[in-house]
Amino acid sequence: MAGLVSGRYNFSGRLPFTYPSEINSLTNYDFKKSEETGTMEGAYDYNARITQQWGFGHGLSYTTFEYSNLQVSVLGGSAAKSRFTKDDVLTVSVDVANTGLRAGKESVLLFSSDLIASMVPDGRRLRQFEKIELQPGEKRTVTFQLPAADLAFVGYDGRWTLEEGDFLLSVGTQTQTITCTETYTWDSPNR
């Protein structure tokens, strides 16, 4: 612990949950936007705005990291292709650079957001992650293979559904919109 506080070692842990600003403000990191509403007046604040002190994946470090060049393509397709179907595998790559003066570890987190769905979608979902170590000034490309079927959700009928429409993929500060071209519902319970 003394090594971390003194700076001899660098922090690299990340929160596996969302830490609230106030008591009774507990929520998941992937809460639905319909669960966040304006604050009403009165003794019982049933519709309080969801607030957080530190979000899911927050962490401290003695160095800084910069994200750039987020690319999404369909496996075997061109880099410019951002349209997919249920059978495709999306290749997501991003450059991560250590812009600080110390070596450090960074958890690269890939999130997805379903922008429009037949039921209220989660705000964002963690799809994949990778922890990398970078020396000062070092830059590395991190690549994820994301099956399009992983973007499905359980519908009102209890079946997995991947709906036609736009999705937002984000890694660090980088975002990319992709489009599913057709709706598909699986007959089996586990896709």
Classified as helix, coil or strand, 156 is: coil
Half-sphere exposure of 49 (CA within 13 A, CB side): 8
* Digit-coded pLDDT (tens) for 109-159: 999 988 888 887 777 889 999 999 999 999 999 999 999 999 998 888 888
* Digit-coded pLDDT (tens) for 77-97: 544 567 898 999 999 999 999
Tell me, yes or no, whether 169 lies in a domain: yes
| Residue 49: per-residue pLDDT | 57
Classified as helix, coil or strand, 37 is: coil
Average pLDDT along the chain: 82
Range of the domain at 81: 65-185
Tell me, yes or no, whether 121 lies in a domain: yes
Tell me, yes or no, whether 177 lies in a domain: yes
Tell me, yes or no, whether 54 lies in a domain: no
Report pTM.
0.80
| Residue 63: per-residue pLDDT | 92
Structure tokens at 77: 């397709």
Mean pLDDT lowest for which of 53-57, 64-68, 128-132, 172-176?
53-57
CATH of the domain at 103: 2.60.40.10
Q: Residue 162's pLDDT band (boundaries 50, 70, 90)? A: very high
Q: Give the chain's domain count.
A: 1
Tell me, yes or no, whether 80 lies in a domain: yes
Tell me, yes or no, whether 4 lies in a domain: no
Q: Is 123 left (phi over 0), alpha (psi -120 to 50) or beta?
A: alpha
Tell me, yes or no, whether 114 lies in a domain: yes
Q: Residue 42's pLDDT band (boundaries 50, 70, 90)? A: very low
Tell me, yes or no, whether 53 lies in a domain: no
Per the CB < 8 A criterion, the answer to whether 180 and 148 are in contact is yes
